[in-house]
Every structure is written in structure tokens, then in C-alpha cells.
A and B are shown apart, each in its own frame.
Chain A
Amino acid sequence: MSNATQLASALAQMVGQANVIQDQDSVKAYAVDGMTPKAVVSPGSVEEISKLLAYANSEKLAVIPRGNGTKMAQGGVPRKLDVVLSMLRINRITEHDVPNLSLSVQAGMTLAAVQEKLAGTGKGSFLPLDPPCSEKATIGGIIATNASGPRRYLYNTARDLLLGIKAVSPNGDIVAFGGKTVKNVSGYDMTKLMIGSWGALGVITEITTKLLPLPEASATLLMSFDDLARAAAMTRRVLHSAMLPSAMELISEGAAARMKEKGKYLVAFSLEGVNEAVERQAAEIAEIGKKEGAAGSRVFRGQEDRAFWLGIRNFALAAQTPVVLKSNFVISKQAEILESYEKHAQAAGIDCAFIGHAGNGILMTYVLGSEVAQPDRLADLIAKFTAEAVQKEGNLVVESCPTELKGKIEVWGQLRTDAMVMRRLKEKMDPAAVLNPGRFVGGI
């Protein structure tokens, strides 16, 4: 185990002095759950990352990869932290094959930058992922955390989009899997394994993904309901119909208010596609809404449309909620879970806002700032929420919360029977526990 100076000099040799941060004040900004790293490195090439990890592996150092840190608050408290590995300099598009509708891009580029480039090239395309904070979230982080947003309803998530992945293994090996082809069954699907693996099996350096052409038209249809039952019936109707909105969100009153919208329960549909399809769906879904007793509905486009969805995606940021929970469960239980959560929250006297991906069985809970002063009551509430979700064949994950709370709750929800396999996998692939030790499911 090297001392701080030895470490810093070894790192400087690998990436250049200018790319190593080691002074006490600066490294504090890179703390994870209150643990300050000894150094922060910003490699400029994959070879440098390889050298770094090989070194860390032999010296048994703990490394946490980082983009812009938008998801650093998630996960268990690290068992150890020596180096934060910043991926921000690994940030180019390595290949944009326009006619093939595929893109190879490095981990350190932000999603917003990627989308801008894509929209402005040729006929215009996009990567159909809309996680929170895309202005800052980097590709590597998004993929490593399997982040997603409302448009997963139509476009699904990273595991349905990625064609290939390049990474550096915890022992420093530079590896590449998949490629540019939509179909690939050569060897194991390591791409899927890496998605959502929390940087614990390797550091993602580049992904290759398929793209979609930019839709011809888009609009949002927003309707409000006076009670949850009616709102839920609405989403159920649309779910089982041939309608193809790109997103379908259920928004509680508390959340709506913060978005400056009125209504007890709002249901928002994002419609994207050819003109005729967007218009038809706007009309038809509005009709269905009327039948299901919508109190009001309106359609908006252009800037208002974009701003609305930005508001949904960046809700936590805008409302500055320190605790964000993500529950997953079977699709049909959305209303039941929301109702039950509202009751529990009310009983606990804790102010929560809820937004759900109504067609996917996902519910985001945003706990307001003042509530963290009561960690025990909050922990109890989270436990109740988790039990509800588990009962509906799902689970609950804490996407962000203050470090103090982490000791009182299961940030990864209830352990399942496959946790043992995950542990075995981690032990095989990262025997020296170099990457993100202790932060993932089951403390691996």
C-alpha cells in the first residue's frame, strides 16, 4: 500500500502531472459519501487508463470512475477509496456512421453534446435515451448506471440500444465486445453485462450504439384527473391499445405543482413520429381521456413541449430533493403502489412528490429537503416503500440520499437469490476489488 506521495508520483508518471489532482482542498470536491480520495486522475487515452488500473490492481487500490458525478450519491458507502478516475478527457465521437445509423462515442462525452452533434449531421438522428441531467451526465456514467427516462416507454433502454462496448478490465486489460452490427451472438454478451454494472466489472471507455432518425413531428398531450383511479384507468387503456406514445407519465399533485401545472393527477403523453400519426394520436388519446373522465387536457408543441419533458427529467435537480427513490414493480400495480405510498408518506408526515413511468411499472419518489432532518422516520418510510414494491414483484433502489441515511436503509432494496451469482462474478472479474468496492448490490 503506497503512501500518498508515492501514489501521486506514480499517477503523474502515467497521465502527466497536469492531470493529477492531489491537494487536499481540491480532492474534497470529489468525495464519495464523505470519503475523500487521495488523488483524482484524468487520463487522456485508453492506454493510460489501462496502466492506471493495472497499477491499482497490483497495489490493491480502490478506484471509483467518474464522469460529471451526477449519480455519485447513489450506491452503498465505499469500503475504500484511493483514486477517483475522471473520464472527462476521454470524450470524443470515434465514429459516426451516418448511413448505418450507428455511433461510437467515448465515455466522457455528455449526452447533450452527443445529441447536439447527431441532430446537426445529415438528416438528423438521436440516441433515444433521456435520463436526468443530460447536460452533465456522461455517456459512460449513463451506461454504467443504466440510467433512463420517460421515453423508455417506446424506445426501451441501453440494453436494447447498445451494439458494442469497449472497456478496461479491473486488471488493466483493454477489451472490446460487440461491434457495429445490430445482431451479434459471438461469445458472451458482455455488452449487456457491463450496462448497469456500476463500473464494478470494468471501466467503460467507449460504446457503440444504434441511433434513430429524428422524428418528423412531436407534441405533448397533458391531461388532468381528479382521482388516481381514473388516471390509472387511462394509462391502462392506452397501454393495451395500439397507440404508440413515446412516453406516458403519471404525475402526482405535489410533483405537478412544482412543475407549475395544476391538477390532482396528471397524465402526460409524448407523441413522436410522422405528422399523421402524431395528430391522430393526440386526437384519439384525448378522446379516450374524455371517456375516462379527464378534468382537462391540452396539447402543446415546440419549446413548451421540450421544456415540459426537461422538467420531468430534471425534477430532482430543480426541486433540489436530496432523497430520490426508484421503485419497480409489475405494470398493473402502478395505481395501487402510488396510493399506498401516498398513505404511508402522509402517515409519516413526510412530504413526497411522485412521478411514474406509467407503462413500465416504475415510480420515482422525490422526498423534499426538509425531511432529511428526521432520518429514522425517513428510513422507516423507505423500508415500507420497499416492502410494498417487493410485494408487487419488484424492488426499490435509493438513487440519492445523504450518507448518514445510508447506514439505516438498504440502498439497493431487498437482496434476491441471484445476488450470490453477482458476488461470484465480481470476485472472478475483480479479485483485488479495485473498482467501486462496496458500492453495489450486496455490498460487492
Chain B
Amino acid sequence: MEREVLIAELVRLVGRENVLSSAMHYKLYEYDASLIRSKPDCVVLPISTEQVSRVVKFAHDHKIRIIARGAGTNLSGGSVSIQGGIAIVMTKMNQILDLDIENQRVVVEPGVVTLDLKSVLAKHGYLYQPDPASEKVTTIGGNFGENAGGPHCLKYGVTSNHVLGVEVVLSDGQVVQMGGKALDNPGYDLMGVLGASEGTLAIVTKAILRIMPKAEAVKTMLCIYNSIEDGGNTVTAIIEDGIIPATLEMMDNLTIKAVEEAYHVGFPTDAAAILIIEIDGLKDGMERLTERILAICREHNVREIRVAKDQAERDKIWAGRKGAFGAVGRLRPNYLVNDGTVPRTRLPETLAKVVEIGKKYRLPIANVFHAGDGNLHPLILFDERDKDELERVHAAATEIMKVCAQMGGTISGEHGIGLEKLHGMSMIFSPKDIAAMKKVKEAFDPLNLMNPGKVLPEAEKAA
């Protein structure tokens, strides 16, 4: 379809003010937070389910590709229109529709920013548990599409564990409801398979989320180590002892330095690693639990332990952790973040291998990780203007994925496959596995118009 005709039709469907169609706008929506860039043919910002449905139906009838995006902070290229088409930006659908404390649910439009939602809930003493580091800018819809995690998912689960119902627009424009405020609606867990589907199966236009009262007490500890191995072993030992903290995060020296420079939160810049441990729940027994944890840390040569005295100190520790990715931009202009996940017990080994890979490819790697669930984020640092370096970066990233797969883990814990990790899918799935997933895709999107080229590799490449 001619671009002019396309634009005119979209203007008719959603109104002039919600269609962006200039050279400047295509450049603005050609990227996300990954290294991938590719322009859409047109951009729309619908304001209602009705509008989304109309646009999708129109695209379906004319075989035009579509991609739904939120804030565009995707790390694997999931939000980039690699085959052109219409970019459906959901940011204007940002209303909290129904705060239903009585039923412990909140109904939101997908463009609601996660932290904004949590701020509203906090006023009522309630929480929405998933806390991805990007929560102050990411949207609920984006979180769901990637099945975002965050430090607290060790105890509380990831986004799809807290999305109990959705209204979606299917690939042909039909609007259906899945799940709901009530639990256990009969049938397949369609919502379950939509989580982490990266916009390739349907577009969420409403989400019903589980909310819960905030915990009575919380204790946050910063544990400082002279060796990464000791930190890693502490993590395993804590779980082995039968303690499931709410979070168990780790940062290595390079990251600590960047974070300190950016935020001045008081992390010691000569530490080999720091562990952020948080436990929450009833206050009874928390002291004893804390003591047990600290004893384990001491058994593993912890250098220093700081327990946050109040909310302000707690916030500072978390500010340092949540801003970690961006902070490494001070060390080198760009990073590629790996998202491999391994069984917790194999974390120290995996880390050692990551260090080797960094040396092999002569690239600095800063490490941040959700140590408690084995999800590493090696940040490979480079300058994208150096083409040789860029090549080595991709090679290093692929090798890290291989290592994680070999350790009995997976290649993506929370950032999604997108385009970036497509070539890694064969490391963890057989051609038959991929064939089964393709059937799901075909059931939802027979014409392959929804975010094509992402998540599932072409059949031939799967071997």
C-alpha cells in the first residue's frame, strides 16, 4: 500500500492528532534500548481499545505488519519494526481504570507506567510486586510482553504471575477477554502464553493485575565482599539453608564504580562484589532470620555488612542498583547486556567463564545480576562507532549465551529474545520444540503480521 494512502486511512481510524508520519517521527520510533534500528512505515498512538481494534483489523485486511510498543525500552530489539509496517504506540492509553482493593485487583490500560501504578497503590498500603529496574519508565503492557522480572521476583514471581486477566486485540482485530478478576477461569491458560510473547501473538488493551497488602516489615542488607566467588557462594548457601529472601542481587567492581560515580550512594569502590539482600514478611522472627543470613555471609568471608536503618537508606541502596545499567554508560559509551540465566548453584562457575570471555575478546564486562534466581546481566562495554569492537561484542555475547545453555540454563531470563537473541534459540530448543511454538504462533497470527521476525527463528535456522 502506498504510504500516503496508508496514512490517510490511519488518520481516518484514529484521528490526525494520533498519527505521526514525518521523517523525524520515523527516526524517533526506529529504536528501542537495544542496538537495533529500523524504521516503521507509520506511527499511530491509539487512545482506546476500539481504535486499536480498528487499526489491527485494517492492517490484517491489507496484510500490513504491525508492532505494538510502550515506552520503547526493550533491550533485545523487540520494539523495533524490522519489517516496516505500523508502529502502534500504546503510551496514550495510560489510565488506571479500576482500583479494586476489596478484590485485590487493579485494572489498567497497558500504557500505565509501572512505578506510577505502584505510587498510587502505595497510598492505600498496597503493592504490585513485579519491580523491573526500569519500572519508572516501562509500561505494564511492555512488562507483560517481555514477562519482566526484577529483584523481587525471586520470592514473588514475575509479571505473568501477577497478571490475572487481559483484554486483547487478536491479529484480525477481534477483541476478547482472557482470565479476569476471578481466579481459575476454565480453559487453556492463554494469558500464560501471552506473557513473554513479545507482541507476536496479540495486543493487550487492558490488564487486570493482582495486588496485595504491603509486607509488615522489610530488612535490606548491603554485604560487601573481596571476591565474587564468596558472594556467589553466599547466595547458594542462603537458599540451601532454607531461606528464601525477597531479593538477592549482586554487582561487581566495575559496576560499583560506575554506580558510585553516577549516584553517590555510598557503595565502596574497592569491593570485588556487593550483595543486596532483602527479606520481608511478618516482623516476628525477622531478627533471627537476619542473624542466620549474616552468619552465612560471615562464613563466606564477607568484609562488611550494612543493614539499612530506615526507608531513606533502603531507597539509596535500591537507587544504586536500579540505575546500574545506565551508569555504566560513563565507563564506555555503549553496552550490550546479556540476559543468560543459569541454575543458581552454577552461578560462580558461569561468572568465571564470563570473565574469561571478556579477556578473550578484550572487552570490559561489568556484571549486575539477580543472583538469587541465577539471572546474570554481563554488560559488555564498547563504543559502537568502533566496528571491530562491535563485532567482538556480538561474538562475546553469543559465547556467553552458549555457556548459560551448557550450564543447564537459558539464554533469556527477562529481556526477551526479540531479534538480538534469535540466533541463540537453537542452543536451548530442538527443531521440534520450535515447531510446537510455531503452532501457537499460527493459531494466534496465521498471517504472521504481528511483530514478525522476532522470538522464533526460521525453521531452517533452528537445526
Find the residue from A97, A177, A189, A281 having the highest chain B CB count within 10 A.
A189
- Which of B189, B214, B344 contacts A159, CB < 8 Å? B189
| Distance in angstroms between the alpha carbons of A279 and B285 in the assembled complex | 10
Q: Digit string of A95-107 for contact with B (CB within 8 Å is 1, else 0)?
A: 0011111100000
| Distance in angstroms between the alpha carbons of A400 and B417 in the assembled complex | 42
B190: Cβ under 8 A from any A Cβ: yes
Shortest distance in angstroms between B53's beta carbon and chain A's nearest beta carbon? Answer: 13
| Distance in angstroms between the alpha carbons of A156 and B155 in the assembled complex | 12
**Which of A31-39, A133-141, A194-202, A401-409 touches B?**
A194-202
Tell me if B182 and A418 are in contact (CB < 8 A). no
Q: Digit string of B176-188 for contact with A (CB within 8 Å is 1, else 0)?
A: 1110111111111
Q: Digit string of B153-183 for contact with A (CB within 8 Å is 1, else 0)?
A: 1100110110000000010001111101111
Given A181-B343, A185-B417 in contact, is the A328-B193 Cβ separation under 8 Å?
no
Tell me if A280 and B161 are in contact (CB < 8 A). no
B265: Cβ under 8 A from any A Cβ: no
B79: Cβ under 8 A from any A Cβ: no
Find the residue from B160, B195, B443 having the highest chain A CB count within 10 A.
B443
Q: Chain A: which residue is nearest B195 at the CB level?
A: A189
Tell me if A393 and B187 are in contact (CB < 8 A). no
Tell me if B236 and A418 are in contact (CB < 8 A). no
Q: Which of B343-390 contact A (CB under 8 A)?
A: 343-345, 370, 373-375
Tell me if B181 and A393 are in contact (CB < 8 A). yes
Find the residue from B160, B189, B190, B456 having the highest chain A CB count within 10 A.
B189
A193: Cβ under 8 A from any B Cβ: yes
Tell me if B436 and A274 are in contact (CB < 8 A). no
Q: Which of A387-444 contact B (CB under 8 A)?
A: 392-395, 397, 412-413, 416-422, 424-425, 427-429, 440-442
Shortest distance in angstroms between B353's beta carbon and chain A's nearest beta carbon? Answer: 17
| Distance in angstroms between the alpha carbons of A177 and B434 in the assembled complex | 10
B245 proximity list for chain A (CB < 8 A): none
A99 proximity list for chain B (CB < 8 A): 236, 239-240, 344-345
| Distance in angstroms between the alpha carbons of A185 and B145 in the assembled complex | 10
Tell me if A394 and B180 are in contact (CB < 8 A). yes
Tell me if A280 and B412 are in contact (CB < 8 A). no
| Distance in angstroms between the alpha carbons of A332 and B101 in the assembled complex | 10
Q: Chain A: which residue is nearest B435 at the CB level?
A: A173
- Which of B154, B240, B455 contacts A182, CB < 8 Å? B154
Given A99-B239, A240-B101 in contact, is the A185-B375 Cβ separation under 8 Å?
no
Tell me if A274 and B432 are in contact (CB < 8 A). no
Tell me if A427 and B187 are in contact (CB < 8 A). no
Tell me if A425 and B440 are in contact (CB < 8 A). yes
- Which of A97, A177, A182, A189 contacts B373, CB < 8 Å? A182
The 7 A-B residue pairs whose C-beta atoms are closest, nearest first, are A192-B192, A213-B242, A274-B285, A394-B182, A276-B284, A276-B285, A242-B216
* A interface residues with partner B (beta carbon < 8 Å): 97-102, 123, 125, 146, 156, 159-160, 169, 173-177, 179-193, 195-197, 201-202, 212-214, 239-244, 273-277, 279-281, 326, 328-332, 360-362, 392-395, 397, 412-413, 416-422, 424-425, 427-429, 440-442
* B interface residues with partner A (beta carbon < 8 Å): 100-105, 146-147, 149, 153-154, 157-158, 160-161, 170, 174-178, 180-190, 192-193, 195-197, 201, 213-216, 236, 239-244, 281-282, 284-285, 288-289, 341-345, 370, 373-375, 408-417, 421, 425, 428-430, 432-437, 439-444, 455-456
Known: A182-B373, A412-B186. 6 other contacts (CB 8 A): A159-B189, A173-B432, A188-B440, A190-B436, A193-B193, A202-B436
